[in-house]
Structure 1
């Protein structure tokens, strides 16, 4: 599989019998929004595709349950940080299910890895890559000037104290970042440097180091995390292990809502659970797949409406095949689809080719449209070849989920009666039966 590596700004080939994947998970201080869902669905496509190819994988997702936002929210709500973070961790896992996302190999809350974090930080201090000052521990960027900034393509000398680098008199260099934070507020743990809690940038490096015991193959995350989070995560891992963290850094583009960048701070987000309730999970998956994962994506009502129309078109076709084959109006064969020159339509070969080419899902969507066009023609001719089965394979691999009812004898009798009423031109009774069948999710 060829993927675009943000570190080298070029494509890299991943051809392994087992793939190690890490994706940055949520900070559980609120429900996730659809922007947070983009890297999760991107990773879901990868692991589903690997499964379809019988390639093994290990996929780790973190949960940030130690954070200033959680502390502030729990104080505001007058409940413990632990109870607050557990509530939204549970909500996050529910949202994964709402989105039909396969559960990772492991989902690890960072609060369960404090000992590992302390060991990791102490290792960096002993090697001279981190230092303690007033109970805080900082990573010393000056020791890694030639490596730091490579991921985000920035020169360390041009980095100034600004929005993303807070001024701190304890730092040797303005760009140094905190690994262990002395704190008086919120939950804290005892370390050799005093009471405190871990810095955000350390947790991902520690989890990868602890879980995989080696470098990983694919690191997934949103483009907004590239600097400073991924940059800081990467440099810590390199400092401890003297090797690159990941073969490929896969970054998805950010989301906008009506041309304004989606952000919780701007309060212009759509919660995943609200979106799914209103539009269905297939709709959001289609929107993401119908655009290049690297590109920014603007969500608007026109796009949502289009996605729902596309999903309904597929669903209607699948339901039609389901009932019409059961009542004998459509014959399903295993014939290979061929063109006018008797050449085979190699749909699955094309599908794999597109996904292998940096997850070119827009071309896959075009391929599905082409297959549906062929299938609808075949439905009219009452004879269906293996295009249908191949389509189902592709839809499943992409993570689309359609509720196609397993028809009972009673359902089949009702369908036959409906078709009979149509043939007898008893349209009033036919319409009544049709409405009943629609309500029962059969047609």
Structure 2
């Protein structure tokens, strides 16, 4: 197709992240973030990535809603000669957090697709409404352009029922769509394929455990390019210890807090999602600050780190058992890519499983995919920077290109 650009939009409740890419060489032309939409003072930070001496630009003004935000983004892109009215723009790709079981691949947005995303709001009340708003706003700006939804949950729809089902009454679960969906799917898809490439193999020939460790964190077991298990469930709360989320906890904790602590459902929801995890354990959710406090002898920070690592080890071991054979354990996202101490601690003591980290390789900082395990290790340990925006752009462009050929 002649048009080669894709605009990727990630719309949050009060923010819009965006990137414009040229799919001929997968290069970034511009990127930016609109924050505090609808508040008294908003900020747009725009970074052009073409031309010499390009510098970030900031706008501080009130941006009332997502429509105004995207219009401001369009103005900044136009100032760089990259306007949304350009015939070079092939499509707009949207991150949509929850696609349920219906959406297993990127999908061109229609009225019926939007209705289904809306029907999924009860299982993604914080995310899907903002995603819908972003799509509708982009449609209004460019009604002639394909809008493509790329779903966080899609990569995990290959999980077998034995992994996806909770052991509760089937009729109740089906009536209310209660099952394990998983999230961070675009990251797990991108990283698992990149890990196979790093090993010099095809994705269908490798089994990998992917550890996406950011403020939100999730693990996945990927066999031959297909997800067979993941740590997040009905919502992004389940699984690993995260920045502010508790991860795995006995469900009876909720009943106990309601009965004994006299806490309401919304209060408990807020506790488990926003006041737990690392911030609940030690008051900080920044791993750099936690490590600084540990080095200074802070016992609360040290315990929080130990709990975080203990949960990581449990998932590595569990997914090793699920896969049977593991070719690589791969760290990605903000903590996974940058916290050498987390990578070292997560693998320490797992030598009998064929896992080890080389201290010198682990200490190297790089934006490139790399192995950090010694040559003798039976299982590779790798760091692969994630690129969810590129994954969304790739899926979007492939879909519209195939449609044009058809």
TM-score, normalised relative to structure 1: 0.21
Rg larger in structure: 1
Whose RCO is larger (CA < 8 A, sep 6+)? 1
TM-score, normalised relative to structure 2: 0.22
